[in-house]
Amino acid sequence: MIRGMAESMLVVEVEEAEPLVRHWRRKYDPNAALGLPAHVTALYPFRAPELLGERDLGGLARLAAQTDRFQFALSAIDEQPGAISLRPVPDNHFRMLAARLSEAFPDRPPPEGLGDAQPTLVVARLAKPDDQARVRQALAVGIEGSLPVACVATALALYVSDRVGMWSCIGRFPFR
């Protein structure tokens, strides 16, 4: 996120992961300090907060009410350049949710090339490859033995950032 720009995102919060990843996220994921809990992103960016209206909120509520709660497990540590994550399995519900959001809000498709991205719960964001290798090794020791973590997706959450970059939840839309 670019500081100074207010924005919003849609996520599935993963409360079951917090005890396992809280320490690591506070240390290695700047978004944790900015107010974002452990989550899997459903759609980012969504809308500028000042453009969010009743039509958007109603659409999110309807979409969530038509989406069944679903179970998944955080089963393995996953790496991408600059990030270390936990992978949800199965991930098809997250992919379907992202597709349904893109259909419901056609002006907000996933960013170019991210439509088929692996859904993940980011634990660490690292700029240097050496740091990534070191943190990956520490995570293997610190959390791999606690995987899988059984989880239930119960709602879609709408987070907005302020102009300093702090995130806050302004709505949760329960799944059926």
Q: What percent of the chain has pLDDT over 70?
A: 93
pLDDT at 90: 97
> Which tops the pLDDT comparison, 67 or 164?
67
DSSP per residue, the chain: --TT---EEEEEE-GGGHHHHHHHHHHH-HHHHTT--SEEEEESS---GGG--HHHHHHHHHHHHTS--EEEEEEEEEEETTEEEEEEES-HHHHHHHHHHHHHSTTSPPPTT-TTPPP-EEEEE-SSHHHHHHHHHHHHHHTGGG--EEEEE-EEEEEEE-TTS-EEEEEEEE--
What digits encode the pLDDT tens for the residues 97-122?
999 999 999 888 665 544 567 899 99
pLDDT at 1: 42
pLDDT at 2: 42
What domains does the chain contain, in order, with CATH numbers?
8-174 (3.90.1140.10)
What digits encode the pLDDT tens for the residues 9-61?
999 999 999 999 999 999 999 999 999 999 999 999 999 999 999 999 999 99
pLDDT at 4: 54
Answer whether residue 156 shows pLDDT above 60.
yes
Look over the chain and give the mean of its residue pLDDT values, rounded to a whole number: 92
Supply the pTM of this predicted model: 0.92
